Each structure stands twice: as C-alpha cells, then as structure tokens.
Amino acid sequence: MLTRRKLLLATGGIAAGAALVRPGDEGGAHSPYFARLNKTLRGKGIDTPVLVIDLDRLDRNIDRVMQSVASTPEKTYRVVAKSIPSPQLVDYVAQRANTRALMVFHRPFLQEMARLNPQADILMGKPMPVAAAEAFYATPIDAFNPEQNLQWLIDTNQRLKQYLQLAQSRKIKMRINLELDVGLHRGGFEAGSELAQALASIQNNPHHLEFAGFMGYDAHLMGLPKILADRELPHVKAKYMACVTQLKESFSALVSTDNCFNGAGSPTFRHYEGNTVVNDLSAGSCLMKPTHYDLPILEDFEPSAFIASPVLKHLQGSRVPTLEWAGPMLRVANQNQTQMYFCYSGNWLAENESPPGLTPHFAYASSNQQGYSGSDSVKLEVDDFIFLRPSQSEAVLLQFGDLVVIRGNEIVDRWPVLTATT
C-alpha cells in the first residue's frame, strides 16, 4: 500500500537526487514502426489493451531458429507451447518450421493441443502429478494416440512407480522420457544407480512402459556471466553424454532411432550446433523475444510481441497525491516529469517500448490506470497507444484475450489463447 510516509520519502529522494544532476530530455515521438502500428489500431477502433503479434518479425525469428537447428547434424525443432500459448500461433510456427514436435507444460494445455492437433508429437516439459495423467486418460481424445505421440516426463523413481501403476490399472502403455540434471539442479537423474533403476523399470515392463528418451534443460547457463557459461557448457554436455553412454552400454535394448534426446531452450539452442548427442531442441520465447531474452546469443532476433494500451488521460505537469506542492519541484528538477499519461490497465510484466522517455510514475502503479511521466517531447494524445514490450511471454500473452495479429500495416487475424482450465 502506498502510504504518506512512502510518498514523502520517494518524493524527497527523487527531488533531491534530480537536483544534483538534472537529467536530459529522454522523450520523443513514436518511431515510424510504432506510428504506423498506432494508426492501424486506432483505425480499427481498438479500445482496450491488446497483445499484438507481428508476423513479419515472427517469420524472420522462426527462420533464424531453423537455420541453427538445420546445422549438421540436423535436429528436430520442438515448439514450446507455453511461450506462445495460442493454438493458432503454435500451429503457425510449426507449419513454417515444418515440425510437429511440441513441448507442453500444463495438463489443460495438453488436452487442448491434443484435441486441436492430434498428429502432434508432444513432450511434457515438466514432471506432472500422476493425478494429471489420470485426468488426461479419463477424458480420451479419439483422434490422438498417446501411445505414439505423447512423452511423459519423469524425474524420480518414485514418480515412475506411480506412472507404472497407472499404466497397469488402465492396461495402457506410456512413453517415458527421463529428466536429466545437467547442472540446473532442479531435479532429475544423473548417470549412476538411480538412472539405472529407472531404465531397468522401463525395460522390465515393456507392456506398460516405453523408453522415449532423455530431456536435459540447461536454463542455468542463461544467468551466468559469459566466462562462467563458457566453462559450464562442456560440463552440461558431458553430463548428458554420460547418461546416453550408460543407456547404450547397459540398456541397449531401449535404444532406437526414435529416441528423443531433448535439450536446450531459447537462450541456449545455438550452443548445440554440431552436437551429436542431443537430437531434439526446444525453443519458444526467442520467437517473441521479450526483454529477458536480450542476450548476446539472440542479438539478431527481433521483438515480435507488444502490448498496446490506449491512453485514457493526458495531464500537463507532474502530480503527487496529497503532496501537491511536490509536483512543481519534480518538474523543475527533471524535465522528464513535465507531463503525465494514464493508460488503460497496466502494471504488467513489461517495459515501455514506444514512445521513448515514458517511465511509470511511482505514485500511480496500477493494474487499472497505470500512470506514466514524460517530457514535453513525448507526443501522445488521448486514444493514442502506448506500446510495451513484455519481459516474458508465457503469462503475459494470456492476459489480453485474443491476440491481434498484424502483417505490414494490417490486422490480418485474431487468435484465441489457450485456456488455463478445462
């Protein structure tokens, strides 16, 4: 809660700091790209916040992924549905990438994707409670064959035992992909006795369990300084290789050309060009390129998803509730506080993209009407749009209803998002 004491401290601190070094003018008008987009949305009468997907930018990002995945030896590209949680968006990416491989992280999403795309090859991206598997099989989808097209991810022998009991009770066969700990230390198997026990359980129950492959996620590399990441990457690959070696040497009957050895993610898939162990690479967020993925390895990728929020109010001068005297002080100390805008909704996991120089006002953080400060160089009118770039994609894309799909200067479609419940 914003208290008077907090307001006093914040206002006093901002005014004192700004008085020492008066910031330069950081504002400006929309870039030509966003000026055209603003005109398009206004022309179509958009009156609520929307999530815009730019197909031209998305196409180029898909092609960048495929160029990497196609490097020798070529690998399967697996589309991460949680990062682009719209069936039509997933299908669009899969068709352009010429893949039917998907990664799904949520049981309701699994049911919806299996119903809408029964030919998809689905790998679960996280281990699910056995209750989730029971719920899935309790409502079968006629056109989808889970014995061929679904891999359940298993991280412990205890969970594997639960899944075996479910398979026995339902008289079905379940494809099992074993999660590996390649350095993230978020669970999973390493080479050794626990992995041997899991592989033996699968081998000894061929009527109910089928070995599908391994999944080793290396997300910890994203947060490391480059010097540490370069040092860690060989260890990640060695841990994965040790598990594959154990499989081939001790459980050769489980080895087949259909084994899925999945790895990587948006920040790391390019590290596996030329790798001969991993044959299946996942990526999703890089296609949208939210701000958390502003990484050197993805420097050539383009942001393709933006929040567009209508301006509801435009006020000249900075304001502070209950401390009206502080507004003029802020304006004098910082020319980027000379006008205010209030947009429709707000407080999203996102950062201002256009126009430049808009910053969230500390006293008006709101999911109802977010307040922004800007200089006189910011040229916005009521009913114009503020554009924000999500910091991540999976949750943000679900908050706006149908996605607004553009190509060039035209809205070409609206795509529903996946539902979180069934």
pLDDT of residue 421: 65
pLDDT digits (tens, 9 = 90+) for 352-390: 999 999 999 888 889 999 999 999 899 999 999 999 999
In order of their start, the domains of the chain are 4-52+302-415 (2.40.37), 57-286 (3.20.20.10)
Q: What would the two tokens of residue 307 be?
A: 């929040």
Question: Are the beta carbons of 79 and 91 closer than 8 angstroms?
Answer: no
DSSP string of 223-258?
A: GS-HHHHHHHHHHHHHHHHHHHHHHHHH-GGG--TT
Distance CA 358, CA 345 (A): 16
**pLDDT band at residue 202, thresholds of 50, 70 and 90?**
very high
pLDDT of residue 316: 86
* pTM summary value: 0.90
**pLDDT band at residue 235, thresholds of 50, 70 and 90?**
very high
pLDDT digits (tens, 9 = 90+) for 301-357: 999 999 999 999 999 876 666 555 555 556 555 677 789 899 999 999 999 999 999
pLDDT digits (tens, 9 = 90+) for 115-145: 999 999 999 999 999 999 999 999 999 999 9
**pLDDT band at residue 18, thresholds of 50, 70 and 90?**
very low
